Amino acid sequence: MPLFFNALEAAAHRLSLVPPMFDYFGALGLHTLLAAARMGVFDALRERPSTGGELAAALQLDPRSTDMLLRALAGLGYLRARRGRYGLTRASRLWFVTGSPTSLVAGLEFWERTAFVIWPRLEKAVRDGAPATSFYALLEGDPDLSRSFQAWTAALARQQAPAAARAIPLPRGARRVLDVGGGHGEFSVELLRRHPRLHATVMDLPQALEAAAGHPRLTARAGSFLDDDLGEGYDVVLLFNIVHGLDDQDAAALLRRVAAALNPGGTIVVGEQFGDSVMPGRSSRTLLRLLDLNYLATAGGRVRDFREVSHLLRAAGFRRPRHRRPLRAVPTELAIALRNP
Ligand SMILES: C[S@@+](CC[C@H](N)C(=O)[O-])C[C@H]1O[C@@H](n2cnc3c(N)ncnc32)[C@H](O)[C@@H]1O
């Protein structure tokens, strides 16, 4: 919910002059976006900025209610009003228009179900110190939800991958990449685009590979990175948004197996959000703390500091972990290390 308090609002909040409405109504903000995207509001406004009445007529909606919806979306920063007409902002053009490569529309169901089915189990997760549901088991039994999750992660990856791939130094003569839990394959595809002699294998659970990106030098391999053989002889192993979904024991075991799958001197790339190096600001820090709870509730994982990931990497047989923060891929920070000879 891109709301920014001015000084007066922040003071009112701090002094508890207002009830905690922003937290309650954050949920309504999500529903507002979901309703607008599903009814085609953003797609229609991409065609041309419109008044509430014009949009209501085009989409067969109630005119007065449409005005209310448009005003709320403008308040949230997803529309801009000019001379009575509403148009898209950069954010809605990027994320909520159906045809955009980074469109999150196909992933809306994932957030709806997460927010209203999975997050309510947070209380149990905090009591038990473990997730109440196995998120990936849930996806396995629900193909629609799984597709929606993959669509969401693929859209984000399409936006993040170019900058992330630019920041990855490959070992000289590198030929083979393993993308662990690579799902949609977008991070691998971007590396393949940049390096014409590379071949990539994306390893993931069968349901995740259904919609994997196609590329002549990309192979999809169904399997569990926790239980199945990872293979060997790789020059580079990618772990994008994987380690934060694992507890310390599973994370350490996976990194040791990745070290065994890599050639000596090969490169491991862990890409995710690190707790100790966010954008400055209380909102970003708070978002990370909420992400922590999200990983706890969904997978039993957590957000780790770069320092902690670095420690896990050294213990698993890697040296010289370096921290990269590609400027155009803010939530994807990289820990890059080399396998010991
Ligand atoms: C958060 S997504 C990240 C996908 C992709 N790497 C990215 O960053 O966009 C986690 C991925 O790990 C996969 N995954 C989870 N548990 C797995 C397991 N035991 N074996 C293989 N893949 C698994 C999921 O199916 C999913 O595609």
Residue to mutate, 118, 209, 225, ligand 1, most ligand atoms under 8 Å from C-beta: 225
Phi, psi of 239 (to 5 degrees): -130, 85
> Ligand 1 centre from 204 Cα, in Å?
6
Which of 151, 150, 158, 209 minimizes the C-alpha distance to 179? 209
> Ligand 1, closest atom to CA 208?
25
Residues 303-323 have pLDDT tens digits of 999 999 999 999 999 999 999
> Ligand 1 centre from 182 Cα, in Å?
6
Please, how many CA atoms are within 13 Å of residue 222, restricted to the half-sphere of its CB?
A: 7
Tokens of 148: 């929606």
Q: What is the mean pLDDT of residues 45-68?
A: 97
> For residues 201 and 175, what is the distance between their CA atoms, to the nearest angstrom?
11
> For residues 161 and 219, what is the distance between their CA atoms, to the nearest angstrom?
18
Instruction: Please say whether the beta carbons of 28 and 116 come within 8 A.
Output: no
Among protein residues, the one whose CA lies closest to atom 1 of ligand 1 = 241
Residue to mutate, 159, 180, 241, 272, ligand 1, most ligand atoms under 8 Å from C-beta: 241
Which residues are bridge partners to 318 per DSSP? 339
Confidence of residue 278 (pLDDT cuts 50, 70, 90): low
Residues 21-35 have pLDDT tens digits of 888 888 899 999 999
Q: 262-272 and 318-324: which strand pairing?
A: unpaired
> Ligand 1, closest atom to CA 272?
8
> Ligand 1 centre from 90 Cα, in Å?
29
pLDDT of residue 1: 52
Which of 229, 216, 218 minimizes the C-alpha distance to 188? 218
The reply to whether ligand 1 has any atom less than 6 angstroms from the CB of 138 is no
Beta strand segments in the chain, E: 79-82, 85-88, 176-180, 199-204, 218-222, 234-240, 262-272, 318-324, 333-339
- pLDDT surpasses 80 at 258: yes
Tokens of 183: 């799902």
> Ligand 1, closest atom to CA 226?
19
Which residues are bridge partners to 179 per DSSP? 202, 238
User: Which helix (H) or strand (E) segment is 44 a member of?
Assistant: helix 41-47
> For residues 163 and 112, what is the distance between their CA atoms, to the nearest angstrom?
29
Residues 208-223 have pLDDT tens digits of 998 887 899 999 999 9
Return the domain boundaries, the chain: 7-100, 108-339
> Ligand 1, closest atom to CA 153?
9
CA-to-CA separations, 139 to 129, 145, 207, 242, in angstroms, rounded: 22, 6, 8, 16
> For residues 136 and 142, what is the distance between their CA atoms, to the nearest angstrom?
10
The reply to whether ligand 1 has any atom less than 6 angstroms from the CB of 182 is yes
The helix/strand/coil state of 59 is helix
Q: How far apart are the first and last CA of the chain?
A: 47
Among protein residues, the one whose CA lies closest to atom 24 of ligand 1 = 181
> Ligand 1, closest atom to CA 238?
6
> Ligand 1 centre from 289 Cα, in Å?
21
DSSP 100: S
> Ligand 1 centre from 240 Cα, in Å?
8
Q: What is the mean pLDDT of residues 230-253?
A: 97
Instruction: Please say whether the beta carbons of 131 and 185 come within 8 A.
Output: no
Tokens of 189: 């595809």
The reply to whether ligand 1 has any atom less than 6 angstroms from the CB of 205 is yes
Q: What is the mean pLDDT of residues 122-137?
A: 89
pLDDT of residue 277: 75
Place of tokens 């010289």: 320
> For residues 23 and 1, what is the distance between their CA atoms, to the nearest angstrom?
10
> Ligand 1, closest atom to CA 225?
20
Q: What is the mean pLDDT of residues 230-243?
A: 98
Q: Give me the DSSP letters along 74-90.
A: HHTTSEEEETTEEEE-H
> For residues 184 and 226, what is the distance between their CA atoms, to the nearest angstrom?
19
Reply yes or no on domain 7-100 having CATH 3.40.50.2000.
no
> For residues 2 and 16, what is the distance between their CA atoms, to the nearest angstrom?
21
Instruction: Please say whether the beta carbons of 162 and 190 come within 8 A.
Output: yes
Among protein residues, the one whose CA lies closest to atom 20 of ligand 1 = 224
User: Which helix (H) or strand (E) segment is 139 a member of?
Assistant: helix 135-140
CATH topology of domain 108-339: Rossmann fold (3.40.50)
Confidence of residue 138 (pLDDT cuts 50, 70, 90): confident
